[in-house]
Amino acid sequence: MGTSLFYFIRGMKIFLCIIFFLLSLSPLRAQEIDSLAIQPPFPDSTLRVAKIVISGNEKTKDFVIKREMSLKVGSLITRHAIAFDINRIYSLRLFNRVDIHVIPDSTTATLLVLVNERWFFYPYPIFGLKDHSWSHLYYGLGVVHSNFRGRNEQLYAQFALGYDPFVSFQYVNPLIESEWNLFLNTKFEYGVIKNKSLISLQSGPEFDERHLDGQVIIGKRFSLFSTATTSIEYTSVTVSDNRAGRTLSPTGTDSYFSFNAGYQYDTRDLGEYPGYGTLLSVSASKLGFGQSEVNYQRYNFDFRRYIPTVKGIVFAARVFGSGVQGGRVPNYGHVYYGYNERIRGRFTTILEGENIFGGNAELHLPIISPSYFRSELIPIEQFRVIRYALYFALFADGGDVWYRNQPLALNRFLGGYGFGFHFLLSYSAVARIEYAFPGNAGKGELIFDIGAAF
């Protein structure tokens, strides 16, 4: 355990050095501006906000929008601040389009925020890829209210069949107490998950894990950018074929409570595909208490930086890791490359261990900057406004996993690099077509994936 902790601390030092380097870079913020969304044009550093007026929000309360804005009454209006606030409001995923008009009056101005609301309550088909693999398709049906009471509260009920079927219920309230700025997230889920562990497969044929999870998260929002959370979670894992090592309990079922604490600092402008900002997320979890067979700790960090440069080009970088300490880690608690985390160029290579450390870098070159299109041929008003963009990307990935009795060896890192096209679509959807090569200059591979890489 001491050796593992030593190498995890060494990894943290590397991580901190990269953070300080990235923070030292000065972004050229003017390139973030979508000039069509800011009317009329105005010079920076001349006007202050006298009033903020919201229009177009038939259901959404004004405070939901204003909470996401960096500009307040008395703030100095800059083009960067307006572009940032447009993206932050859009990241709520409540609107098809967001515009901010500046109406000047001497040394002050009124900000007119115009929004076009999405559908909020509707059934929806579920279709997706588990672990970024097209052979791991799942499909089903869900019902969502994404803006319950107009307060950005979210209610979900959904089920899926196919790969790793599940049923889940979730309630999210971003503001349960205004004086302390507290939020709540509760979730219940039951799912059948196919085993991922190569170690478990050594003792016999394939098997499934039946997971029952219940979680309650309470968090505090300190500012527009920083939040802290605590949560309690109950987990029960039962394997369909009980063989040695597949659970820590000899019964074939591990049941335990977990306590988690985390902090997040997030200045990203656009949630699904950032063009500016920083994300720093750290957390610690205690899994198992008392007489539970499961009894260990896990520590996680994730640092991401998005730096706009010239001509709308954005440099993006990520460093992340997860390490364990304490008792035995069940095989289903291992970390992997080859499932949720992937190395492009080695997309199907599976690496398994107790600890993980890795990084990604991308360069986003706009071909079509974020734009809007309205079609009167679409019969439903909430779908007529279409937001779209297209980027060409260069990327590189690398990382490794290891067990506590192994050192973190940088010369063992696997890597890959390549290029591709990233499509930004309405309702915050992102699709990617990429071609990647392994770090040892082997044969390339074509990748079709959904969602941003990070």
Q: Which tens digits make up the pLDDT trace of 417-446?
A: 999 999 999 888 999 999 999 987 778 999
pTM confidence score:
0.77
The pLDDT value recorded for residue 380 is: 82
The pLDDT value recorded for residue 8 is: 43
pLDDT score of 22 more than 90: no
Q: Are residues 439 and 300 in the same domain?
A: yes
Confidence of residue 236 (pLDDT cuts 50, 70, 90): very high
The pLDDT value recorded for residue 410 is: 72
Return the CATH number at 81: 3.10.20.310
Residue range(s) defining the domain that contains residue 379:
2-25+195-450
Looking at 58, 93, 117, the residue that finishes a domain is 117
Compute the distance between CA of residue 234 and CA of residue 70 in angstroms, rounded to an integer. 37
The pLDDT value recorded for residue 41 is: 59
What is the mean pLDDT of the segment spanning 66-91? 93
Structural domain count, the chain: 2
Q: Are residues 14 and 97 in the same domain?
A: no
Q: Are residues 210 and 87 in the same domain?
A: no
Q: Are residues 389 and 289 in the same domain?
A: yes
| Range in 67-81, 103-117, 261-275, 376-390 the model is least confident about | 376-390
Q: Are residues 271 and 209 in the same domain?
A: yes
The pLDDT value recorded for residue 207 is: 93
Which span out of 26-30, 76-80, 288-292, 355-359 was modeled with the highest average pLDDT?
355-359
Q: Please, is 254 exposed, middle or buried when counting C-beta atoms within 10 Å of its C-beta (0-12, 13-18, 19+)? A: buried
The pLDDT value recorded for residue 220 is: 97
